[in-house]
Amino acid sequence: MLTQADPSADSLSTVLKSSRGILFDMDGVLIDSEPVHELALIALTEKLGRRVDDKAFLFSLKGIPEKGVAGRMREMFPETVLSVDEIIELKIKLFERIFDKVVMIEGAKEFVQRSKQAGYRMGLTTSASRPTQQLVFRTFGLDEYFETSVTGEDITKGKPDPEPYQLTATRLGLDPKECIVIEDSVNGVKSGHAAGCRVIGLTTTFPRQALVEAGAHFVVDSFRDIV
């Protein structure tokens, strides 16, 4: 199902035809990893002192860069002797141990392949760490499709700030206005919108209305709806 936030604006097909680049988020857009990230975060809290599996708390961390997550953990566990970087490293290791549970979002790789064949310039914009991004690309064979990848280490301000998507567009040599962003999170949609991109919200993580309210120009349930 396709929802167009402003029916009087250009249609999705028109936007696709006039765009030169597609900028993808990773978790919840290319890979179905959110449940695995939650398990890794719960394991992380256990390592830091006590198990925290509150759904609202875990949901509040979606779309936040690794440094932000680590900072939240230090606030929650002020007694920890681990630095932000050490917490990030521990979380990555915990995630990698259960990475075999991660699968690609249905239709994602086929859409990536079609987009490459159609001549779009493609970049990745993720809050995840560089090691996690490389693991994902290596596992699912994505390197050949993306010209650049912006990860949490590349930015000073994470989503919802526009910096991540502005940087990705710059690395592709494109104006953000020439780019489409595909996002699943409220913070990601806000980031892409603020950067000046057209944003497609994918309802794999957040409900349709939340993505519209965050600034998505279009909202779809799956890649089959992007035509």
| Contact yes or no for 191/37 (Cβ under 8 A) | no
State whether 66 and 124 are in the same domain: no
State whether 14 and 74 are in the same domain: no
CA 173 to mean position of chain CA atoms = 21
State whether 206 and 130 are in the same domain: yes
Which pLDDT score, from 0 to 100, does residue 58 have?
Answer: 86
Residues paired with 31 in a beta bridge:
27, 104
The one-letter amino acid code at 222 reads S
| DSSP result, 41-58 | HHHHHHHHTS----HHHH
Which pLDDT score, from 0 to 100, does residue 61 have?
Answer: 83
pLDDT per residue over 38-81, tens digit each? 999 999 999 998 999 888 888 888 767 788 889 999 999 999 99
| Contact yes or no for 140/108 (Cβ under 8 A) | no
State whether 59 and 156 are in the same domain: no
Which domain range does residue 64 map to? 34-100
Which pLDDT score, from 0 to 100, does residue 55 have?
Answer: 85
State whether 84 and 169 are in the same domain: no
Which pLDDT score, from 0 to 100, does residue 129 have?
Answer: 86
